[in-house]
Structure 1
Amino acid sequence: MKTYTQIIYHIVFSTKGRARCLLMPQRESLYRYIWGVLKNKDCHLYRIGGVEDHIHILTSIHSSLAVSNLVKDLKLGCTDYIKRERLFPNFVGWQDGYGAFTLAFSDKDRVVEYVKGQEEHHQKVSSRDEFLSMLRDYGVSFEDAHID
């Protein structure tokens, strides 16, 4: 039997120290790079977005991939791309961890809109508070002291 999956991940990762260095319009170039990496790994990108200090990726990943390996590859590749293209002069790296949350296919459109609205959303809510809210909403156990 062939393998059939439909697992949608909402992946979030931040710049080191939540440095606000992912500036527009260069951020669009980074998003295109990430889309290319996902496409090359047979993933389907539904939406990518973010603000100056973090990125949201809504994607289905190929059944042969582990999300931890995908995020590691994305972070390493993005770092190389940012440095090679000199996109963000103040970029020093990514935080060690990340968030990866699964969602029902029926929730996809709602989360696509959420990712689209990041610029507006973060006029009211800090990135840290947003991430803490996501952890709570997705039922993830965590220690507040370990969230930077």
Structure 2
Amino acid sequence: MAFIKIYIHLVWSTKNRQPFLNSRELRIKVWNHIRENALQKGIFVDFVNGFSDHCHCLISLGKDQTIQKTVQLLKGESSFWINKNKLTEEKFEWQDEYFAVSIAELMLDNVREYIKNQEDHHRKKSYAQEYEEFISKYGFEKLGE
């Protein structure tokens, strides 16, 4: 038997960072659906939250799961569900790109708290600013050079 515990903090935005998820009620519906869908697919979602134009998801990968496939399942199915249920006025889409960073177990509570406080966090800072901080903090700009 394999014993695996790999935590990943995923962040992805709506297409062109459109504020499709423009109400707290809608966001709660979407986050709950992502959680329920993940459970059905054997994806362990520890925490999910976000704001009008993006989603943060803390997951733990299983032994046969890849980041790419997991993100594809979470984003693809939730986008399909949002459109099927006509939860947005325009066609809903997630952006293709996403962030995925590993999280040490001793940092889990900090990451959970950060994800939990997205509403307050984005009263002070836009997703564009948060995006640039992620790029810088995790050294992603060096990867693209």
TM-score by length of 2: 0.90
Letter in 2 for 1:73: L
Residue in 2 that maps onto 1:30: 30
Hey, which bits of structure 1, 4+ residues long, moved more than 6 A?
none
**Number of residue pairs aligned between Structure 1 and Structure 2:** 143
Describe the SS at the equivalent of 1:97.
Answer: strand
The answer on 1:126 being equivalent to 2:126 is yes
Could you tell me which residue of structure 1 aligns to residue 141 of structure 2? Answer: 141
Secondary structure, aligned partner of 2:71: helix
Deviates more, 1:37-46 or 1:101-110: 37-46
Bigger fraction of residues in helix: 2
Superposed, 1:103-118 pairs within 5 Å as 103-118=103-118
Identify the residue that residue 48 of structure 1 maps to in structure 2: 48
- Deviation, 1:102, is 0.5
Q: How does 1:31-110 map to 2 (within 5 A)?
A: 31-110=31-110
Residue 15 of structure 1 contacts residue 91 of structure 1 at CA under 8 Å; is this kept in 2? Answer: no
Alignment of 1:14-29 (within 5 A): 14-23=13-22, 24-29=24-29
User: 2:47 touches 2:59 (CA, 8 Å); kept in 1?
Assistant: yes
Identity %: 29
> Per-residue deviation at 1:91?
4.5
> Tell me, what secondary structure is at the counterpart of 2:139?
coil
Greater share of strand residues, 1 or 2?
2
Contiguous gaps of at least 5 residues in structure 1: none
Contact 2:83/2:92, CA 8 A, preserved across alignment:
no
- Partners of 1:41 and 1:62 within 8 A in 2: no
Indicate the SS of the match to 1:78: helix
Say if 2:4 is the partner of 1:5: yes
* Residues 51, 118 of structure 1: 8 Å contact kept: yes
Whole-angstrom CA distance in 2 between matches of 1:62 and 1:137: 26
